[in-house]
Amino acid sequence: MTSTSDFQPMGKYEQVGKFSAYVTGNPASSIAIVEVTDAFGLVPSVIQGADLLAKLLDALVILPDYFDGKPALLTWIDENGEPVEETKSQYMTFVKEKAQSPDNLPNVIRSVEEAKLKWPAVTSWIGLGLGWGGKLIARASGENTPFKASGQAYPSRPAREDVEKFTIPHICLASRTDNPDGVKAYAEILTGEEKIGYVETYSNMYHGWMGARSILSDPETFKEYHRGYNQLAKFFSQFR
């Protein structure tokens, strides 16, 4: 795995139903991951993570673009993940018009349905969300879920009321700044004897370290980014 400066994508963009999507990995695989990005969309560090996950699992990985090529900008958010005052109105407009979870949840379900038609060899569908996308995947992991298992990295607003509705195994990799009460609830409900789940807080990592805000030129982030994707692959490999 390289830094984003010299990274060359393995996959390509193609139409998956209504949405353009970055598609990578083995189209003949029995396992596929529908991955929902954070609010900053299909940036190089997110694409690189998808390529790595596809390689580790010999899987197909599909990243729909729910923002139509116009995601939030990294400059709108400060180092703590809060809106910058000078561009707060732009960020809030983006959230209102493109990033409302109730509006986007049907898109996730639709993407899986359309992907099933396009790749009939797949028998195991997995859901993965980064940040904002994690909230969507959490809400798609309850009753009548299309997924066999699901996961999140640096979850956005992890909450007990979400995880209490899960009907499938789930992995949650949190950063040091993610809601500790929500992450604790995930651990209480998902892990323990006779439960198939995994929860870990990367206490040395910041919100976004496995996605758009990842600084892969930093050795510690590079290491933990790689470890996170390996953990996701190991967990998902149980559900082929």
Per-residue pLDDT of 83-118, as tens digits, reads 899 999 999 999 899 998 778 999 999 999 999 999
What are 169's two structure tokens?
A: 């195994």
Q: DSSP character for 122?
A: -
Q: Is 98 exposed, middle or buried (CB count within 10 Å of its CB: 0-12, 13-18, 19+)?
A: middle
> What's the pTM value of the predicted model, to 2 decimals?
0.95
* Whether residue 158 has pLDDT greater than 80: yes
R_g of the chain, CA atoms, integer Å? 16
Model confidence pLDDT, tens digit, residues 121-148: 999 999 999 999 999 999 999 999 999 9
Q: DSSP character for 38?
A: -
Looking at residue 53, its pLDDT comes to 98
What are 34's two structure tokens?
A: 């529908």
Looking at residue 234, its pLDDT comes to 98
Q: Which residue has the higher pLDDT, 149 or 177?
A: 149
CA 26 – CA 119 distance, rounded (Å): 10
Residue 1 pLDDT class (50, 70, 90 cuts): very low
Looking at residue 2, its pLDDT comes to 46
What are 121's two structure tokens?
A: 């060899």
Residue 82 pLDDT class (50, 70, 90 cuts): confident
Looking at residue 102, its pLDDT comes to 79
CA 19 – CA 32 distance, rounded (Å): 17
Looking at residue 59, its pLDDT comes to 98
31-36: strand order across its sheet: 12-16, 19-25, 60-64, 31-36, 124-130, 149-153, 170-175, 197-202
Diameter over CA atoms, the chain: 50
